[in-house]
Structure 1
Amino acid sequence: MSRPALDRAATAADRLDRALAAHAAGDLPAATDGYRAALAADPAEADALNLLGLAHYQRGEVDAALALLDRACRVAPDAVPARINLGTLHQDLGDLERAETHYRHALARAPDEVAALNNLGNTLTDLDQATAALALFDRALDHATGRARAEVLYNQHALLLDRVGPAVAERAVTEAVTLAPDHALAWIALAMLRAARGATDAADAALAVVAELGASAAALLDSAQTMRPWLVEDGARLLGSTIGGLAFALEHAHEPGLVLEFGVRFGHSLRAIAARAGQHVHGFDTFTGLPRAWYGHAPGLYSTGGVLPAMPPDVTLHAGLFADTLPGVLAAHPGAAVRFANIDCDLYESTRDVLTLLAPRLRPGSVLAFDEYLMNPDWRADEYRAFQKAVAHHGWRPEILGVSPFSKQAVIRLA
């Protein structure tokens, strides 16, 4: 390489290093400018494409992130970090099959890559493949150290709680907080596991650590303090994964009636419900994403592009706003009560509409699972708020059967 070419390469590397330093410091605008400058000099710079895509994702700019990460993977098909980032983005958007493909692509090139093993374990957890997910977490723990190991242990604990028991799950999160003392989610998991077995002083000690983490953990602490009496005083079950929570809910939904899900997206939880319900199931979604912004994301988040997911024959999908599609289904089943409803509406307005329409069909014994009931930054404003208002308006007597800080779920039976 000639001297001018060497100088240009050094300049490009320095530019990328400065952008990466800004990114690490949390200065996303400076990082974004630096990555764009690097790409102006070399549009095929795979690291800059990957990191710029990650920066856009962190800013909530999903479409730009997808395009850049996809370019990074096409420019450098064997680049593991870009492949993991692209898988993570698809996973967060609920496209689990596509996420699995990217993680497996990364693992084919780096079989011991902890992030890929951990993320694929989470993906298979949500795809109702718990045994395979646990094996992946174990593989990740063979190689993970420090905070990466803490993340694996935290993710693994939910399945351990579902499949093995609370004692093993508690050991996992105890190790996690030892490795990462500022891991607020792991501390809350530990506090709830302690509360569920009656060790209230130890639970409070764990919550005191969360309180010391400051404002960034305030909503999480508020959620935990709300859950604590449900576990200690009301005897609610501490739940792990989303699928585990749905299975638990259906086990307690004994009254005959309709089985419904609101918020289908790619259909993973609906297929899990259908596999366990023993009857026909109805799923409702616009399939064009959220109708308004939510937690910094633009309207349209979680869209499938209007494409309805493939479903088994005992599932019927209803595309459109809940307020438009649910009345027709209820009219087609006059007098039928609600046996079980999975309410994954996210937004207050959508949850309110569903509860208003279902109210005449909700009877003692009806079971509701809320998918975003707790643990979000503004959790009191969405599903939780809609249900509390419905309880006050209709005079319902809710019984908290189970709750999961990991999956944000609450399973509630009307008494």
Structure 2
Amino acid sequence: MTAIANLTGIAKRMGVARPIKRWIQANVETGFHSLSPDLLVAVVRALEEQTDFEGRAYYEFGVFRGYSLWFAEQISRGRTPKDFQFHGFDSFQGLPETRVDARFFGRGDLTAGYNRVRDNLTRFGADWSRIQLHKGFYSDPFFSELSSRVTFDPVSIAVIDVVVYESCVPVLNFLGPRLVPGSILVFDDFNDMGRSDLHGERRAFKEYTERTGLETEQIFELGFECVAFRVKTPPRLASPA
């Protein structure tokens, strides 16, 4: 209930109480909901913190049933340009096999099928002119092929909810060339697995910043696991393909 109370308070301050009402209806009456209420608070906080949306986009990795992606698109209406794009990435087959985090997670965990996600988004009024879903297990070749046929704008907000290390590494490689000063990165499971630098999103992000020179500042932490950063200096990388 703390997360819901926080969400409601922030939403009222932002003047977006109506989308919150739709959130409560979807969550309570239909079973379409997020496994991480703190992530919804984080999305609202990120939208509140971010001031630069023009020519940029929202990215979400690990959409599961599609709830937080739907929520972000709903609550951003009137705050972002009409052509602002929301990109959702998922295997729609659950987590991949993981060696680094095998003690905690296994292949196929957290599965929600593509058709189910599309049905959920459609049922609750998602604007498909602003949403794109991208299906596949994360890897450098997957993102390279996708980038050859889809235009991806610089990052305004990126939600990284991929849980395991092996997924987070290629996600950060993909995002890197699209990070600009002010981009906000929200890691839903940053402090999962005992806040260990040897596991998950936390390990991948630490290695990435050390390797590329990406400089960030932490802007908030929510619940037990969620942490958000704002980019100060983008990574030293070539332009995206």
Question: Under a length normalisation based on structure 2, what TM-score does the superposition of the two structures give?
Answer: 0.68
For 1:338, the aligned partner's letter is V
The structure where helix makes up a greater share of residues is 1
2:172 pairs with one of 351, 355, 360: 355
TM-superposed deviation, 1:322: 2.3
Aligned to 1:286: 91
For 1:301, the aligned partner's letter is D
Aligned to 2:108: 300
2:133 pairs with one of 287, 297, 317: 317
TM-superposed deviation, 1:335: 7.6
For the pair 1:342 / 2:159, whether they are aligned, the reply is yes
SS of residue matched to 1:326? helix
Equivalent-residue separation in structure 1 for 2:149 and 2:217 (angstroms): 29
TM-superposed deviation, 1:333: 5.6
- 1:155-195, CA deviations, whole angstroms, 9 ceiling, x for partnerless residues? x2333344459xxxxxxxxxxxxxxxxxxxxxxxxxxxxxx
Aligned to 2:31: none
TM-superposed deviation, 1:299: 1.3
SS of residue matched to 2:194? coil
For the pair 1:160 / 2:1, whether they are aligned, the reply is no
SS of residue matched to 1:414? strand
Task: Give structure 1 stretches of 5+ with no counterpart.
Answer: 1-155, 166-239
For 1:281, the aligned partner's letter is F
Q: Percent identity of the aligned residues?
A: 28
1:386 pairs with one of 190, 200, 204: 204
Which protein is bigger by CA-based radius of gyration? 1
TM-superposed deviation, 1:329: 4.5
TM-superposed deviation, 1:376: 2.8
Measured at CA, do residues 375 and 319 of structure 1 come closer, stay the same or move farther in structure 2, by a change above 3 Å? closer
Measured at CA, do residues 275 and 297 of structure 1 come closer, stay the same or move farther in structure 2, by a change above 3 Å? same
- Greater relative contact order (Cα 8 A, min sep 6): structure 1 or 2? 2
2:61 pairs with one of 262, 265, 280: 262
TM-superposed deviation, 1:334: 5.4
SS of residue matched to 1:350? helix
Measured at CA, do residues 281 and 329 of structure 1 come closer, stay the same or move farther in structure 2, by a change above 3 Å? farther
Equivalent-residue separation in structure 1 for 2:70 and 2:94 (angstroms): 19
Equivalent-residue separation in structure 1 for 2:97 and 2:156 (angstroms): 30
Equivalent-residue separation in structure 2 for 1:400 and 1:411 (angstroms): 6
SS of residue matched to 1:377? helix
Measured at CA, do residues 337 and 247 of structure 1 come closer, stay the same or move farther in structure 2, by a change above 3 Å? same
Equivalent-residue separation in structure 1 for 2:152 and 2:104 (angstroms): 41
Equivalent-residue separation in structure 1 for 2:158 and 2:73 (angstroms): 12
Aligned to 1:59: none
Aligned to 1:96: none
The structure where strand makes up a greater share of residues is 2
- 1:267-287, CA deviations, whole angstroms, 9 ceiling, x for partnerless residues? 011111111343221111111
Counterparts in 2 of 1:14-413, with a 5 A limit?
Answer: 156-164=1-9, 241-255=38-52, 256=54, 257-277=56-76, 278=80, 279-292=84-97, 294-305=102-113, 307-310=115-118, 311=121, 312=126, 313=128, 314-323=130-139, 324-332=141-149, 336-377=153-194, 379-380=196-197, 381-406=199-224, 408-413=225-230
SS of residue matched to 2:59? strand
For 1:319, the aligned partner's letter is K
Measured at CA, do residues 161 and 306 of structure 1 come closer, stay the same or move farther in structure 2, by a change above 3 Å? closer
For 2:143, the aligned partner's letter is L
Equivalent-residue separation in structure 2 for 1:273 and 1:321 (angstroms): 23
TM-superposed deviation, 1:254: 2.8
For 1:386, the aligned partner's letter is A
Task: Give structure 2 stretches of 5+ with no counterpart.
Answer: 11-36, 233-241
Q: Is the 8 A contact 1:291 1:300 kept in 2?
A: yes
TM-superposed deviation, 1:304: 2.1
RMSD over equivalenced CA pairs, Å = 2.4
TM-superposed deviation, 1:349: 1.4
- 1:106-131, CA deviations, whole angstroms, 9 ceiling, x for partnerless residues? xxxxxxxxxxxxxxxxxxxxxxxxxx
TM-superposed deviation, 1:396: 1.5
Measured at CA, do residues 336 and 290 of structure 1 come closer, stay the same or move farther in structure 2, by a change above 3 Å? same
SS of residue matched to 2:210? helix
TM-superposed deviation, 1:379: 4.1
Q: Aligned residues, how many? A: 185
SS of residue matched to 1:339? strand
Equivalent-residue separation in structure 1 for 2:50 and 2:75 (angstroms): 11
For 1:254, the aligned partner's letter is T
Q: Is the 8 A contact 1:375 1:405 kept in 2?
A: no
